[in-house]
Structure formats: C-alpha cells, structure tokens
Amino acid sequence: MHKLNADDQKGDIMDKIGWNFSDSFTVLPEYLFSYTEPTAVDNPSWAVINESLVNELNLNINHLRSDHGLAILAGNKIPERTSPIAQAYAGHQFGYFTKLGDGRAILLGEHLTDKGDQIDIQLKGAGKTPYSRGGDGRAALGPMLREYLISEAMHGLRIPTTRSLAVVTTGEQIIREEALPGAILTRVASSHLRVGTFQYVKQFGSIDELRQLADYTIERHFPHIKDVSNCYLAFFKEIVERQAKLIAKWDLVGFVHGVMNTDNMAISGETIDYGPCAFIDKYEPTAVFSSIDEHGRYAYNQQKPVAIWNLARLAEALLPILAEKKEDAVHGAEALLGYFSEMYQKEWLARMKAKLGFFEETEVELQFIEDLLNLMEKYQADYTDTFRALTLDDYGRQEWFKTDEFNEWFQKWQAKLSAQSQSVERIRELMMSYNPAIIPRNFRVEQVLDKAVEEGDYQPFNQFVAVLQNPYAYTDEQVTYAELPPETDQPYQTFCGT
C-alpha cells in the first residue's frame, strides 16, 4: 500500500478525476474513528461503474476508468490529500445493544461537489479495520452487486438512498459457506452518521462530546435550524420527519429492508446498508425475507413500529442536550415520537391516494384503500402488479381480478374517479407517476446476479439496472421485466453477505 505520488499520477490523478476531498469527520472525538488504510488486493478489475452518478459527482469518467482510478477504488493506492478512516458506532441489533463500527468499510473522504454538497466516498469490503471483530473485512461479489442494483433501483423509485458508484472485483476468493469471488463496492452517501453513532457517544463519551456531534451533524445536514431557540429538539424533529417519510415510501413500493438495527438507520434519512432486503410479490403484511430474522422483528408490517423504537433509542441518547430539565427533555422527545405516526400517515395516505388516482382530499378515499388492501391480502394478490393493472386497465394476469369482491370494489372506485373533475388522461398520468411499472423483482435480481457471478456475463445485470433507472416510464422495454414471478413452493430468502 502506498500513496499516489507525482510520478504515479502524471499530473495529479485526483484533479484529473475530479475528486475534491475533505475529512471533516476527523474534527470529532478521536474514539469515533480510526485511521485505517485499505488492504491491497491481488488483481483488481472493473465489474460495473455508474456513469450517471459519475456525472452527478462532477467526475471525469475517462480518468476514473484508468488504471489509477481502478487502483484507488480497489484500495491499492491511497491518493494524496486523503486520510482514510473507519468509523465507530454502536447499535441495537435485533434489540440487543452492542459496540460496533465499520468492520469492512473504509471512508476515503468527503467529496465536495460543484454544488457544495459534501458526499462520503466509502469502500465497502476493503479489508480489516479495528472494528472487524474477527471478520476478514472482505465482501463477496454477489452481495456487492446486489447492493449496487437495489440502491440504484431505490434511487429510480425516488426514495432517499445511499448510491453505488462502482463495484470492482479483487481477484481473490473469500470464504463464507463456500469460496466466493471477492469484490469492493464504492458507496456514496450524504454521510454515514447513524443512530448508533449517537448511541456510541452517549455510552462512551461526555455530554460536551454529544453536543459536539450534534452540532457537526446539524451543520452538515440541517444548517437551516442552527439558529432556532432549541436547535437540538429541532434536530430530533428533523430526523423523525425524514424517517417517517422514508419508511412510508418503503412501504408504498413493498420494500422490506430486512435488518433495521439502529446502526442501519442513517441520520440523513437515506436508506442505508442493503443486506437481506427484498420486495414483496404477494401482498403479505407479515412478509419476512431475511434468513436470520426468525421471529419477524423486521417484517414488512413492522417497519413503522421498529423505526419508532429506533428513534426512541436516539431520543434516549440525546436527552442530556434536549432540555435543561430531564422532564422537559422527555416530554419533548415523547411528543416528537408521536409526531412520527402523524407524518408517516400523512405521507403514506397522500401517496396511496395518488396510486389510486384520487386528487381530492376527503375521508372516503381511505375506505377505498383499506378495502383494496384487505382484498389483496385475502387473495394473495401481487402488490406491484395490482397497482400497475389499475393504472393501465389491464387485468389479465391475476385470477383474483375475476372475483365478485374485486368487481364490486372496482365499480365503486370507478364511480368515485368519474365524480372527480379531472380527465381520464390526468388521472392516469397521476397513477403512472406513483405506481412503478417495474421493481427489482426478487427472481430477476437472482437471475442477473447468477449470470454476473457464475458466468461473468454482466449484460443482463446492466440491462436490468438501466430499465430500473426510470421505473415510472412505462416503456416497451420494461414490459418483460414487469412479468409476474414464477409460482414456487419455496419462500424467498435473502442473506446479509457478511
């Protein structure tokens, strides 16, 4: 491992690529991070690179694709003006508190874009860190491609998320249940500050350090509240609101995160840490896909209550700075935890009404929604295809559309839509804006991953990612990807990849 020098760079490869790194996180207490260099790999090569994100970050794709760019994203060379770190944090994992940290992820730095945005550039799978807890610090190609695909699909669905800049293979085998090809994901995030970061400082630091962390986070993510009378209570309110809107958006597209530990909840309100995640096919509110979630703690219908539980843990960490008197701090935090449900319901209901073509705001629409969801659960209806069918007036793919119960609901729904002042075209446009034509169907994800990992054929993967960029386009190219999954007796399971 060595720094890129002038001879290596032939004029500063950092400037040529367009990197503009800072390391503001290191102003925080030293126990929150460790300076850590990636472990060099044998024979790195490109798997995929996200050209649209490269452009958004104002980077030069040609220089990033160079051997020097590959060496940086493989962790083989550390650019000048960077001080890579691994971050420390704590977390409640399946309800149990533990000390954690980046066990296989290393933050290269914070890239400053032309717009002034401060973006974390992190290498995931880059080797051991002080927080590896006996792990090898490496990642397998399949899970890294999976995170790349799902995170980019979530971005296409207009859901706040970390992004994926690239995946490089390492030329090495890593050992899990079997030997697997190794890879490193370059993850992009507005930050990697987590609920668990604040839990860590509350547990192992001082109140002054807790205030320092909060001030840093406010400056980075919520600068508009710096001068309010109680900025820390306002800070907690901002987090609650962002999380409520995020979870509502997950639920509306049938996304199941799978491992909502407090260390996997980002303060920024972005979806982070794509491990055993999946999308529901049949509408089963209790759906669980993670192989390790034996009791359904993180089931589809538990994401809202778990988010509130996680935010309660954040509130406990913030209590010393929320108010001078503990009772005032508790009262303020409890009120804002109640505010979560209000914000979730507001976001969920507004978007669900749009999914059904309702422009009006009356109490009647909620009954239409509840009746439909009850029928979908009863008949095990495909969630995404049901809303797609309603949008396109295409009812040939699911047998339950032939039932008397659906027909009764459908006639009432049509009468309600007809009573609106908007045209049929405007109603359809609204529904198409909120009902995706495609999602990353679980069986499709597995197909393209198998092709890439087992055969080295990335064409199906790249094609799938491309059509997922705009899932609301309803193009001819997307029709194939909108097909229903094959019937199977085997429940779909996902694995965390560590």
Count CB neighbours of 294 within 10 A.
9
Longest dimension (CA), the chain: 75
Give 396: exposed, middle or buried? Use CB within 10 Å, 0-12, 13-18, 19+: exposed
Helices (H), 21-165: 51-56, 61-64, 67-73, 141-156
Token readout for 232 is 């820390």
Question: Known catalytic residues?
Answer: 263
For residues 387 and 439, the answer to whether their CB atoms sit within 8 Å is no
Report the distance separating Cα 46 and Cα 39, nearest Å.
17
For the record, the structure tokens of 299 come out as 């089931």
Structure tokens at 494: 């996902």
DSSP character for 481?
G
Alpha helix ranges (H) inside 194-265? 195-204, 207-221, 231-253
DSSP-derived 3-state class of residue 309: helix
Tokens of 23: 């390391």
DSSP code for 226:
T
The three-class DSSP label of residue 231 is helix
Closest CA to 257 of 287, 282, 237: 287
Give the C-alpha separation, 492 to 288, whole Å.
Answer: 9
CA 47 to chain centre: 21
Q: Do the strands 77-78 and 2-3 form a parallel or antiparallel pair, or are they unpaired?
A: parallel
